[in-house]
Homo-oligomer: A and B are copies of this chain.
Amino acid sequence: MATDGGPDKLSVVVFSGDVDKVHYALVLASGAAAIGKKVTLFFTMEACRTLMKPAADGTPAWRSLPVGAGRWADGGAMDDDFRARNLATFEELLTACPELGVKFLVCEMGLKAIGLTRADLRADIPVEEGGVVTFVTDASADGAMLFV
């Protein structure tokens, strides 16, 4: 039902593997969830890599993934810069999202397309697997959809 105060849900296709874009998707998701909106993040294709298990030394996988804007060498350099500027870091946002009720859905096709399986994803973020039909059905007629 249409209400004041904007859409009742955000349904976000997180397609890009650029860490700056995924970071912003997490900013949107956590911000919307914090004011009571339902949020689903649907990770697919390269974006799935941002949820991969850390390296042997514990370094999060996203730190070595690229950024789109090109001013930082990689996700790690971007995040260190954000931390220095007192902005929310990738790990802070990624941890906050499930706590705020954000649902993480991972695209089965997208995983397969880039040669990953569920076992490659970190275990501390609760994810469900699904397809585009799952995602579209999960969305709300009074919500908003974004493709990042």
Contacts and interface: CB of A to CB of B under 8 A. Distances in A.
Given A31-B131, A44-B24, A5 B137 contact: yes
Contact of A31 (B35, B45, B132): B132
Given A10-B136, A27-B132, A69 B144 contact: no
Nearest to A1: B2
Contact of A146 (B27, B37, B147): B147
Interface string A103-139: 0000001001111000000000000000111001111
Contact of A2 (B35, B141, B145): B141
Nearest to A28: B132
Given A6-B139, A46-B69, A85-B115, 5 more contacts: A1-B2, A2-B2, A24-B45, A45-B69, A139-B144
Interface of A: 1-8, 10-13, 15-17, 20-21, 24, 27-28, 31-32, 34-35, 37, 44-46, 68-69, 71, 82, 85, 87, 109, 112-115, 131-133, 136-148
